[in-house]
């Protein structure tokens, strides 16, 4: 038989307490196993190596905290991400328009690059519609 976990949300609700809040979208990082502390009979080199490792870890932690608190750097990073996303979308749009224009040009020209009968009919119809709109449009 196993003992119940006091952190279990269902158990907390059954006991009348609210479940503990969890941050949305914040995965819990896997704990990094720390190397064992030097023993009582450790040499000076082992103690210095442990001290250097601890200083390095502390430096990384301070750097990470400073990065989280640097609002300007975070804003710059978000601007760079938005810029790169816009450049990518612009390039995709240009490629799409180029493909569309090539296909459209292929539909209205023959093998020699001259307009087909359907192209002339389309131009004539567009001109007629533009004329009717110009005549019937209320003038102010």
What is the C-alpha to C-alpha distance for residues 66 and 60, in angstroms, rounded to an integer? Answer: 10
Query: Would you kindly state where each structural domain of the chain is located, as residue ranges?
Result: 45-108, 116-140
What is the C-alpha to C-alpha distance for residues 80 and 85, in angstroms, rounded to an integer? Answer: 9
Task: Please indicate, yes or no, whether the overall pTM of this predicted structure exceeds 0.75.
Answer: no
∠ Cα 104 108 113 (to 5°):
105
What is the C-alpha to C-alpha distance for residues 12 and 29, in angstroms, rounded to an integer? Answer: 24
34-80 per-position pLDDT tens digit: 667 777 788 888 888 888 998 999 888 888 888 888 889 889 999 99
Residue 21 has pLDDT above 60, yes or no: no
Q: Is residue 122 a contact partner of residue 108, using CB atoms and an 8 Å limit? A: yes
pLDDT reported for residue 10:
57
Mean pLDDT of 90-109: 92
What is the C-alpha to C-alpha distance for residues 102 and 120, in angstroms, rounded to an integer? Answer: 18
């Amino acid at each position: 038989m196993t003992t119940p976990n006091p952190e279990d949300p269902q158990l907390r609700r059954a006991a009348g307490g609210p479940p503990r809040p969890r941050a949305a979208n914040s995965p819990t990082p896997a704990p990094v196993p720390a190397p064992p502390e030097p023993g009582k009979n450790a040499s000076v080199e082992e103690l210095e190596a442990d001290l250097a490792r601890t200083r390095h870890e502390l430096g990384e932690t301070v750097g990470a905290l400073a990065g989280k608190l640097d609002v300007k750097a975070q804003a710059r990073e978000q601007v760079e991400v938005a810029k790169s996303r816009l450049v990518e979308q612009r390039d995709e749009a240009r490629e799409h328009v180029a493909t569309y224009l090539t296909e459209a040009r292929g539909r209205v020209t023959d093998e020699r690059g001259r307009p087909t009968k359907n192209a002339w009919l389309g131009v004539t119809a567009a001109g007629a519609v533009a004329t009717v709109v110009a005549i019937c449009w209320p003038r102010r």
